Structure 1
Amino acid sequence: MAARERKPNGKLAALVAECRWTSNGEFARAVNRAGTEAGYKLRYDESAVSHWLSGTRPMAKYQKVVLETLTRRLRRPVTAFEAGFADRPDIQARSGDTVTGLIDLGSMDMDPSRRGVLGAGLYSVALSIPGWPDIIGRFERLKTDPHTRIGMAEVEAVIAMTERISEIDDQFGGRTARPMAAAFMVNNIVPHLKATAGEEVRKAMLSAAADHLYLTGYMAVDERLDLLGQAYYTKALELALAADDHLTYCTTLRGMSVQAVELGHGGPALRYANAAAAASPEAGPRMRAFLAGQQAHALARTGDRTGALVMLRAAEVAMEQAESKAKAHGSYDPASLSYHAAQVNYELGDREGAIRALLHSERVRPVVYRRARVRHRAMLAEWQLEAGRLEEAVQNWHLALDDFPHVQSGRADDRFRTMLSAAQPYRRNPHIRELLDRARPIAPRTA
């Protein structure tokens, strides 16, 4: 049988021209970098791009990586049809049933055999976020179970369980706590959302569920399952809007901004941070500090020095005015503010100022936040090594290693791997050798 004649992919060629890459090799390298985020070790080069332009399509499981690369470059969604990777557009309707989506999402997350599938997703910079009016009527289609009725006691149980899981997360990391959060969502929260309830109880349950989803998304991000984290965050926004819950809506948008800036996407990080601030015009001082600190970090990542310093000062002023404490996993305290000051200073090139701010953050952080202690002490050590303060860096890495074995966290694992890489050029130094000898037996599996 004769091979099917391939036609040049004019659609892809037009997109590549619009991207203004200097060469096909630059396009290929951008795809490889995006693939690394999704857990793929791609080795595309100029010849691969030439094949795509001539009509060969990338392997199905890698097409999303190529499309996401184009999306990031063009700053707009690019579909498989638009890129010439599909013969017809995807016009299949998407269900608006949030509860059904929660069952699908949570059931996958509970199943250990699906963890690889969840980990292979690619973070999307083009994710659309639901605005406040978009959700009206969404839950009117929800079919309730006439045989089940809930009251405030069930709402209080969800809130209490979320708080307990949050405490476990702070102590031991997202990899430990998230499976139980997903199971609780599917087995307890979803039935409550389907139950008959008065309007006050119904909204309170939606709010409690949104808060639980935000926490679960945060734990997925901590495990470096970034697409999964986005999915949980998006559902949290939908439920928060349905509950008229500004606090959880804004907290979730801020969490999405934190995720984006950690992945190096300053533009989306600023978009989410600004959306959170715009949605809370009457926020109290602690919430204003909470949001302004993240805006400052995102602005610094985008290179806006003046804007970053203005927002950092706004966060400092608001923190001085704050009198009440927010809920545990959404709180913003002086340690968090100093952390943002450190990040802003570092992004703007003030390494010593960043070190001073992070040292202060470590001094005032409550002892219960063990995962943050591991990550931030390791980050402090990295900055100290960059500044030529090797012995101080080694000391802080040792402090991070004191807690590291007790924390199951993908972000903590990332800091561990960075430590190994940063210390390697100094391996002849006796302090570094001692550090590496201590670290190797407790290294994460993929370090």
Structure 2
Amino acid sequence: MTEAAWGNGELARAVNRTGTEIGQRLTYDASAVSHWLGGTSPAAKALPVVLEALARRLKRPITAVEAGFRNMPTTVDESTDTVAGLIDLGSLDMDPSRRGVLTASLYSVALTIPGWPDLVGRFEKLRTTPHLRIGMAEVQSVAAMTERISDLDDQFGGRMARPMAASFLVNTIAPYLQADATEHVREAMLSAAADHCYLTGYMAMDERHDALAQRYYMKALELAGHAGDHLTYCTTLRGMSVQAVDLGHGSTALRLADAASAASPQAGPRMRAFLAGQQAHALAQTGDRAGALAMLREAEVAMEQAESKAKAHGSYDPASLSYHVAQVNYELGNRDGAIRALQHSEKVRPAVYRRARVRHGSMLAEWQLEAGRLEEAVQNWNRALDDYPAVQSGRADDRFRSMLAATRPHRRNPHVRDLLERARPMATSRRI
């Protein structure tokens, strides 16, 4: 508390705010903190919240022992065996009765990210079984399944597709990782598994299970390092940065985006655009106007140099770049520039990305309403509602809630009234 420059009341309020992220309604006050300082401990379910509140203030992990709460474990021990850890994580995620253990965890802003040199070349340490042998055909089947699940995610959202991904991870990928194989095939399978873990983490993030997403992302980093797969390692770090910036943790997002850029010195132009665009967004959120605009220009130059436009999950295209231009402009206070860029992104995005149409169309409507352009906003919200019933996405649900809140002061307007009448059955079906 001394290092944080917090008094009792400030710590209590920070803990209460942090608890709301996972639905814990905590009502601690200064007197509760006085009791903690006197030697008592918070409730077991609240202890991780206290530690995360301190970690966010101090920008480093805080253990129960360091905070003064002794003999109280804060996390379930993770297996040091890569495959066993994957099986444990995927099995919990597959079981509806146990999924609350994962989804009730807090997103950590001070997570220690394994560096590339610490991971690369360690795949030989994985335990294998001689009873199953795999070749490149199995690798190709994993890659194809991951691509198919990615397509479903783009169209229908992470809530629909993630259980399938978790099951495939446990029942197919994990046994393949333990199978006998040549060194080349093993590295390729580790890379395919890393890609699948990244996608599964992305879908957990889309469902707003942010701590669970972090765990999948960390496994993706570990597998990518074992495989010597720079691309998936950097893509995962960049995905973690996207998650952080979406949650409003700009400094964490910038740290992750910078780490991704530093780990990819030989990246091609599309990857450079991919990383620089995210750095620009994070810099803008932290208030670094000059840095954000410089990175945005770097992303634009790199995109001009990129040749391939093939779609792959985690890819970067002109629509993605325009989205970053919009976000940077919005963070820097240029609302009109943000609206124009997001309109362009909507125009050039391939039709297959249904979830993005819902999220970004709703965001565009919110920005237009802020600019006083009510009728245009209602038009874009109606377009978003065209696709919303088919999309199972926590982030899309967030935009729906934002629409209800933003339009409340205008509910006497006939266009808004019609919009809300249309939205009412959707809110009932989603229990929003």
* 2:337 is the alignment partner of 1:330: no
Alignment equivalent of 1:123, drawn from 84, 107, 123: 107
> How is 1:12-27 mapped onto 2 (pairs within 5 angstroms)?
16-21=1-6, 23-27=7-11
Q: What's the counterpart of residue 61 of structure 2?
A: 77
- Deviation of 1:137 (Å): 5.7
Alignment equivalent of 1:235, drawn from 201, 208, 219: 219
Alignment equivalent of 2:170, drawn from 174, 179, 186: 186
Q: What's the counterpart of residue 22 of structure 2?
A: 38
Contact map agreement 1:38 1:123 (CA 8 A) in 2: no
> How is 1:258-273 mapped onto 2 (pairs within 5 angstroms)?
258-273=242-257
- Deviation of 1:51 (Å): 2.8
Alignment equivalent of 1:339, drawn from 310, 313, 323: 323
Paired letter, 2:13: R
- Deviation of 1:298 (Å): 0.5
Q: What's the counterpart of residue 425 of structure 1?
A: 409
- C-alpha distance in 1, partners of 2:382/2:34? 49
- Deviation of 1:25 (Å): 2.7
- C-alpha distance in 1, partners of 2:361/2:385? 9
> How is 1:399-418 mapped onto 2 (pairs within 5 angstroms)?
399-418=383-402
Q: Deviations for 1:47-91, whole angstroms, at most 9, x for unmatched residues? A: 332332233311101100010000110111111111121248999
Q: 1:330 to 1:370 in 2, by over 3 A?
A: same
Alignment equivalent of 2:94, drawn from 96, 107, 110: 110
- Deviation of 1:37 (Å): 1.5
Q: 1:368 to 1:230 in 2, by over 3 A?
A: same
Q: 1:88 to 1:208 in 2, by over 3 A?
A: closer
Q: What's the counterpart of residue 362 of structure 1?
A: 346
- C-alpha distance in 1, partners of 2:231/2:200? 17
- Deviation of 1:433 (Å): 1.4
* 2:133 is the alignment partner of 1:146: no
- C-alpha distance in 1, partners of 2:336/2:30? 42
- Deviation of 1:416 (Å): 0.6
Contact map agreement 2:365 2:377 (CA 8 A) in 1: yes
Aligned length: 431
For residue 232 of structure 2, give the secondary structure of its aligned residue in structure 1: helix
Q: Gaps spanning 5+ residues in structure 2: where? A: none
Q: 1:51 to 1:245 in 2, by over 3 A?
A: same
Q: Deviations for 1:131-155, whole angstroms, at most 9, x for unmatched residues? A: 1121256433322111211000000
Alignment equivalent of 1:58, drawn from 42, 48, 53: 42
Q: Percent same amino acid among aligned pairs?
A: 76
Paired letter, 2:87: I
- C-alpha distance in 2, partners of 1:32/1:70? 12
Q: Deviations for 1:92-138, whole angstroms, at most 9, x for unmatched residues? A: 98642110000000000111112222210100011111111212564
For residue 113 of structure 1, give the secondary structure of its aligned residue in structure 2: coil
* 2:286 is the alignment partner of 1:302: yes
Contact map agreement 1:286 1:325 (CA 8 A) in 2: no
Q: What's the counterpart of residue 236 of structure 2?
A: 252
Alignment equivalent of 1:161, drawn from 145, 151, 162: 145
- C-alpha distance in 1, partners of 2:306/2:57? 40
Q: What's the counterpart of residue 4 of structure 1?
A: none
- C-alpha distance in 2, partners of 1:142/1:52? 43
For residue 144 of structure 1, give the secondary structure of its aligned residue in structure 2: coil
- C-alpha distance in 2, partners of 1:60/1:24? 20
Q: 1:421 to 1:199 in 2, by over 3 A?
A: same
What RMSD in Å do the two structures reach over aligned CA positions?
Answer: 1.7
- C-alpha distance in 1, partners of 2:313/2:159? 16
For residue 428 of structure 1, give the secondary structure of its aligned residue in structure 2: coil
- C-alpha distance in 2, partners of 1:266/1:341? 16
* 2:218 is the alignment partner of 1:218: no
- C-alpha distance in 2, partners of 1:108/1:89? 20
Q: 1:386 to 1:40 in 2, by over 3 A?
A: same
Q: What's the counterpart of residue 85 of structure 2?
A: 101
- C-alpha distance in 1, partners of 2:32/2:304? 56
- C-alpha distance in 2, partners of 1:82/1:326? 49
Paired letter, 1:406: A
Paired letter, 1:171: Q
- C-alpha distance in 2, partners of 1:156/1:197? 14
Paired letter, 1:17: T
Contact map agreement 1:97 1:138 (CA 8 A) in 2: no
- C-alpha distance in 2, partners of 1:32/1:425? 28
- C-alpha distance in 1, partners of 2:113/2:309? 28
Contact map agreement 2:107 2:214 (CA 8 A) in 1: yes
Q: 1:108 to 1:91 in 2, by over 3 A?
A: closer
* 2:121 is the alignment partner of 1:134: no
TM-score, length of structure 2 as denominator length = 0.96
Q: What's the counterpart of residue 373 of structure 1?
A: 357
- C-alpha distance in 2, partners of 1:361/1:92? 42
For residue 313 of structure 2, give the secondary structure of its aligned residue in structure 1: helix
Q: What's the counterpart of residue 6 of structure 1?
A: none
- C-alpha distance in 2, partners of 1:446/1:280? 43
